[in-house]
Amino acid sequence: MIELSNADIRSLQKLIHNISGIYLNQRQCERLKQHISTYISSNNFKNFQQYYRILKTEEKHDEQIHTRELLSFATNNETYFFRNTAHFDALANVILPELVRRKTNPNLRIWSAGCSIGPEPYSIAITMSQNAPLLKNWNLEILATDIDYQSLNQAKDGLYNKRSLQNTPEHLLHKYFQQIGSGYQIDNEIKNLVNFTYSNLQQIPYPRSKFGQWDIIFCRNVIIYFSEEQKRKVIKHLHRSLASDGYLFLGHSESMLGLSDSFMVTNCAGTHLYQKNDASPIHQQTTKPKQTEAKIRSTKSYGAHNWPETLNSSDLTMDRKETREGDKQPISGNLPPNIDIENLIAKGKLFADKGEYQSAANHYQKVIDIDYHNAEVHFLLASVLEQLDSLDEAIYEYKQTISFDPTCIMARLNLGRIYSSAGDREKAREEYKIALSKLQVLPPTYDVQYSGGFSAELLTKLCYKKLEQFPTM
């Protein structure tokens, strides 16, 4: 396998940013390094330089085989059906009836930008199907776009694992999916409602509906990967793509604050969405983004969803280990050495307690860029990544926690819980077994680190209970 240098990864980091607007942080660069090293070897490139020259050459041509693979490695495909159910409640119960009443032409145009492997546009299509009587004699257009061709192909196949359906109501699962082995195939009726195609939000013009501008745009958990300048450009182009009565859905950790004055933030059916400023709002409670920022708080317990609600970030404390001699330096290398790490951690915890998980993650990542071997911060970052539904990255950070602090029991328990929810019984059982073995050597009253005050005895009982659910095959 070809070994890549930090300079090599920085070159790829810059290239990915130029093409897609996605900025990879230190954690993501480490993962990319492993993928690309394997890819270069398996595709018989002599070295990184040859591979990189091919990528640069492909920039000038339509046939971009290796560039597409690179972007596939760089994009995050962690998603599932009916993610943030309040958005779909608002779509079905408020926005759809309002548009049907208001519009003078029977054309409904919806764009899912950054659709990944397809759960979002298919969730939209299912919502439309559930409201079919309201749309009788209407022309429905649902466009789904992404920068990753592999994701688009998977979306077109419409085959998903149980984890992708974790938030899907049982009656919809039975109505719109057919179980095939361990997977679930979406109904052809729903599949035919969605048109999947390639689009890069860094390139204009944006796709247009065959009926004109879009009535609704979903662009959720996409702009969080862009710089502030790029966010402003994307928001400007999305605004231009919307009809005068159009609505924009962003991710629950994303905000229009400081990016645009062209939208009103609207409180609708228990969630927040953005309405193009030249339209009359669908709800009386509207404010300009500059005046207030919508805050959506989660009722989930911080860092461990199945533990009692008393577990929160203020309980997650430990004496931070000093950086060991010879620690790996961050690839980015652009943060000043005099940053107050303890202050960054404290601010991250404060943001997490307020439900501002993306801000918390940003603060923790700054610490990791400086002190990569800080086990506490890897654990804290993993906790907020769970709240952001970035489960693959959360798993990675819990594993990093364990690599730097093998005694961390809560990281094992949280991994067990994630694997269990995803239906991976074997991995879940392994994590609970390891956690149990570590708990059994502790005094019963021992206050387990990061647990929010739970004793070794209580967590031991919990492990036994969990393991009963996973009998040895």
Using alpha carbons, list the distances in angstroms from residue 115 to 97, 155, 163, 169, 218: 24, 9, 17, 21, 9
334 to 52, 143, 184, 185: CA distances (angstroms): 23, 39, 45, 46
Which residue ranges make up each domain of the chain?
6-74, 85-287, 313-468
CA distance 364 to 347: 9
Indicate the pTM of the whole model: 0.56
Predicted pLDDT of residue 278: 64
Q: Give pLDDT tens digits for 14-44.
A: 888 887 777 777 777 888 888 888 888 888 8
Note the pLDDT tens digit of each residue in 73-126.
777 666 899 998 989 999 999 999 999 999 989 999 999 999 999 999 999 999
Q: Of 164 and 451, which is predicted with more confidence?
A: 164
Work out the percent of the chain whose per-residue pLDDT is above 90.
38
Q: What is the pLDDT of residue 272?
A: 82
Q: Between the CA atoms of 198, 76, 431 and 413, what dihedral angle is there, to the nearest 10 degrees?
A: -130
CB 445 within 8 A of CB 453: no
CATH of domain 6-74: 1.10.155
- The highest-confidence range among 22-31, 139-148, 198-207, 452-461, by mean pLDDT, is 139-148
Residue 66, pLDDT > 90, answer no
Which H, E and C letters describe the chain, residue by residue?
CCCCCHHHHHHHHHHHHHHHCCCCCHHHHHHHHHHHHHHHHHCCCCCHHHHHHHHHHHCCCCCCHHHHHHHHHHCCCCCCCCCCHHHHHHHHHHHHHHHHHHCCCCEEEEEEECCCCCHHHHHHHHHHHHCHHHHCCCEEEEEEEECCHHHHHHHHHCEECHHHHCCCCHHHHHHHEEEECCEEEECHHHHCCEEEEECCCCCCCCCCECCECEEEEECCCCHHHCCHHHHHHHHHHHHHHEEEEEEEECCCCCCCCCCCCCEEEEEECCEEEEEECCCCCCCCCEECCCCCCCCCCCCCCCCCCCCCCCCCHHHCCCCCCCCCCCCCCCCCCCCCCCCCHHHHHHHHHHHHHCCCHHHHHHHHHHHHHHCCCCHHHHHHHHHHHHHCCCHHHHHHHHHHHHHHCCCCHHHHHHHHHHHHHCCCHHHHHHHHHHHHHHHCCCCCCCECCCCCCCEHHHHHHHHHHHHHCCCCC
Convert the pLDDT of each residue in 214-265 to its tens digit: 999 999 988 877 888 888 999 999 999 999 889 999 987 677 877 888 898 8
pLDDT tens track for 382-417: 998 888 878 888 898 999 999 989 999 999 999 998
Domain 85-287: CATH class, spelled out: alpha beta
CATH topology of domain 313-468: 1.25.40
Mean pLDDT across the stretch 151-161?
95
